[in-house]
């Protein structure tokens, strides 16, 4: 499968715990995006990378959130001290070059108890 993959697909955690999600983009894609989607809403942009550089962060990305793309390939999104309001689907997408056709992964569903 050469699409965008995300791991894990589901994560249940207790409030206050840290969680980390991984995204593997389509191999030749240089841009990688993170979005958050809550029930009944469209995806909300969190941050994006061009190669290993993080170029934009949404104001939704509080200090508890951090994202990395160390070698310009896979990316991780970490949430520290999770809160119930962090429960959502976290989506990763990738795109190539100047084109903004973003291809999405299956998402990681986070439930914070």
Partner 1 sequence: SQELEQSPQSLIVQEGKNLTINCTSSKTLYGLYWYKQKYGEGLIFLMMLQKGGEEKSHEKITAKLDEKKQQSSLHITASQPSHAGIYLCGADKEYSGGGADGLTFGKGTHLIIQP
Residues found near partner 1 in the complex (CB under 8 A): 4, 6, 31, 33, 35, 40-48, 55-56, 58, 89, 91, 93, 95, 97-107, 109
**Least distance from C-beta 80 to partner 1, angstroms?**
22
In the complex with partner 1, which residue's Cβ is closer, 20 or 50?
50
51/3 Cα distance (integer angstroms): 18
- By C-alpha distance, which of 8, 3, 22, 2 is closest to 74? 22
In the complex with partner 1, which residue's Cβ is closer, 16 or 60?
60
**Least distance from C-beta 8 to partner 1, angstroms?**
14
- By C-alpha distance, which of 108, 107, 105, 99 is closest to 31? 99
In the complex with partner 1, which residue's Cβ is closer, 28 or 101?
101
**Least distance from C-beta 39 to partner 1, angstroms?**
10
- The residue written with tokens 């029930």 in the block is 39
Q: Answer for the pair 14, 83: CB distance below 8 angstroms, yes or no.
A: no
């Amino acid at each position: 499968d050469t699409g965008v993959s995300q791991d894990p697909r589901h994560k249940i955690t207790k409030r206050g715990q840290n969680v980390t999600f991984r995204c593997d983009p389509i191999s030749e894609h240089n841009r990688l995006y993170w979005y958050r989607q809550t029930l009944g809403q469209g995806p909300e942009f969190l941050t994006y990378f061009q190669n290993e550089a993080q170029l934009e962060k949404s104001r939704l990305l509080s200090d508890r959130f951090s994202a990395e793309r160390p070698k310009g390939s896979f990316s991780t999104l970490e949430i520290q001290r999770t809160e119930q309001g962090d429960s959502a689907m976290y989506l990763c997408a990738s795109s190539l070059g100047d084109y903004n056709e973003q291809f999405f992964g299956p998402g990681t569903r986070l439930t914070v108890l």
